[in-house]
């Protein structure tokens, strides 16, 4: 099973060497999971994260790329709601860092979306943005009717920037506001697999594809079974309708039926479940499918014409309720 913790556990182990990719991932994590606060006149940068492994990855990147020391603490268990982040990473004097990451504009205002230089980067950097987004606020629902990969964003602008990054990777994503939350959703099963592969979750991608293909195989089998059942019902209904009309035709025409038509009608009634091919083979001498069908059609037409002349109900009057003439 591909679960959110499985994917995140795999992503924190992804080795990234290029500084641009590490910066793209780090900036996205801090943008989506964090915020800028003023403490004693200084701008502090905070991020609320879900696991110790993600905390360690973020702190390592801060130290190795920017030489920044950060502090980490765990939220008291009693105050944490299920599913909410339980760890906080904080950089007390974070204004310079926020500028370097592009999280502040030239007027010291927090940006609304994602840093422009990140969203116009290389494919590897775009994938790093999505890796950071998933580590910060991503989740995945297993293959099925409601399968999805989603990321919760702090603003609509951030969501649209993430949609744009996915699009430049060739993956279709949509932005939706759901119950007051800005979310980016990928619903297509193949696209979800592609995104898992792009961000480095190759094991999760393989498991996802196996589950998706297995479900598609089951769905195909179910459709075929339903199709066969429908065909059987139609065949049974056709047989009942044909026999009912033939019985009425023989009743209308009585002894004045050409022998070859009477024989075809009697054969139909004697083998009610047989196909036209099988009826032809049972005839003596054998007849083709078209020949036996033609004789039965002529029998019914003759009976209906006679019924119209005499002003009595024709062959369709004998159809059971709910069946159409065939």
107-124 pLDDT, tens digit per residue, is 888 899 999 888 889 999
Quote the pLDDT of residue 79.
Answer: 54
pTM over 0.75: no
Of the candidate ranges 79-88, 150-159, 229-238, the one whose mean pLDDT is the lowest? 229-238
Quote the pLDDT of residue 326.
Answer: 45
The distance from CA 295 to its chain's CA centroid, rounded to whole angstroms, is 51
Helix (H) or strand (E) holding 148: strand 148-153
Structure-derived torsion over alpha carbons of residues 180, 182, 186, 192, reported in degrees to the nearest 10: -110
- How far are the Cα atoms of 7, 238, 242, 309, 324 from residue 245, in angstroms, in the given order? 64, 11, 5, 18, 11
The C-alpha atoms of residue 32 and residue 111 are separated, in whole angstroms, by 12
Domains and CATH numbers, the chain: 4-200 (3.10.28.10), 232-318 (no CATH)
The C-alpha atoms of residue 7 and residue 17 are separated, in whole angstroms, by 20
Question: From the CB of residue 131, how many other CB atoms can be counted at a distance below 10 Å?
Answer: 25
- Whether the predicted pLDDT of 34 surpasses 60: yes
Q: Are 127 and 198 in contact (CB under 8 A)?
A: yes
The tokens describing 28, both together, are 């996205």
Nearest to 247 by CA among 274, 225, 219, 268: 268
Which residues, in sequence order, are CB contacts of 21 under 8 Å at separation 6+? Answer: 124, 125, 127, 128
- Whether the predicted pLDDT of 312 surpasses 70: yes
Tell me 110's DSSP state. Answer: B
Quote the pLDDT of residue 325.
Answer: 47
168-178 pLDDT, tens digit per residue, is 999 999 999 99
Quote the pLDDT of residue 230.
Answer: 62
- How far are the Cα atoms of 8, 12, 62 from residue 52, in angstroms, in the given order? 11, 10, 15
- How far are the Cα atoms of 14, 58, 165, 193, 322 from residue 202, in angstroms, in the given order? 10, 21, 20, 9, 55
* Torsions phi, psi for 125 (to 5 deg): -70, -35
Of the candidate ranges 12-21, 85-94, 270-279, 280-289, the one whose mean pLDDT is the lowest? 270-279
- The confidence band for 145, taking pLDDT boundaries of 50, 70 and 90, is low
Quote the pLDDT of residue 211.
Answer: 81
Pairwise pLDDT comparison (215 vs 302), residue with the higher score: 302
Region 182-210: mean pLDDT is 92
Nearest to 54 by CA among 137, 154, 123: 137
240-267 pLDDT, tens digit per residue, is 788 888 888 888 888 878 888 888 888 8
50-86 pLDDT, tens digit per residue, is 999 999 999 999 999 999 999 999 887 645 565 677 8
């Amino acid at each position: 099973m591909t679960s959110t913790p499985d994917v995140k556990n795999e992503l924190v182990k992804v080795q990234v060497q290029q500084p641009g990719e590490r910066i793209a991932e780090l900036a996205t994590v801090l943008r989506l999971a964090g915020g800028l606060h003023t403490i004693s006149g200084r701008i502090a940068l905070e991020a609320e994260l879900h696991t110790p492994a993600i905390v360690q990855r973020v702190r390592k990147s801060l130290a190795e790329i920017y030489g920044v020391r950060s502090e980490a603490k765990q939220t008291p268990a009693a105050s944490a709601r299920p599913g909410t982040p339980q760890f906080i990473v904080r950089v007390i004097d974070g204004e310079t860092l926020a500028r370097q990451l592009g999280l502040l504009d030239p007027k010291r205002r927090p940006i609304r979306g994602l840093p422009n230089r990140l969203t116009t980067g290389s494919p590897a950097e775009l994938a790093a943005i999505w890796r950071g987004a998933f580590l910060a606020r991503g989740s995945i629902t297993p293959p099925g009717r409601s399968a999805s990969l989603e990321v919760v964003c702090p603003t609509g602008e951030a969501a649209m920037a993430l949609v744009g990054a996915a699009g430049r990777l060739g993956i279709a994503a949509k932005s939706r506001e759901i119950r007051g939350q800005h979310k980016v959703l990928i619903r297509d099963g193949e696209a979800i697999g592609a995104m898992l592969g792009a961000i480095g979750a190759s094991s999760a991608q393989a498991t996802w594809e196996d589950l998706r293909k297995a479900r598609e195989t089951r769905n195909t089998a179910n459709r075929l079974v339903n199709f066969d059942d429908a065909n059987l019902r139609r065949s049974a209904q056709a047989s009942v309708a044909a026999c009912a009309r033939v019985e009425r035709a023989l009743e209308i025409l009585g002894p004045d039926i050409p022998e070859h038509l009477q024989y075809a009608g009697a054969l139909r009634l004697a083998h009610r479940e047989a196909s036209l091919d099988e009826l032809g083979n049972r005839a003596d001498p054998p007849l083709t499918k078209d020949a036996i069908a033609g004789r039965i059609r002529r029998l019914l037409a003759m009976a209906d014409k006679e019924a119209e002349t005499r002003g009595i109900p024709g062959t369709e009057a004998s159809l059971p309720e709910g069946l159409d003439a065939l």
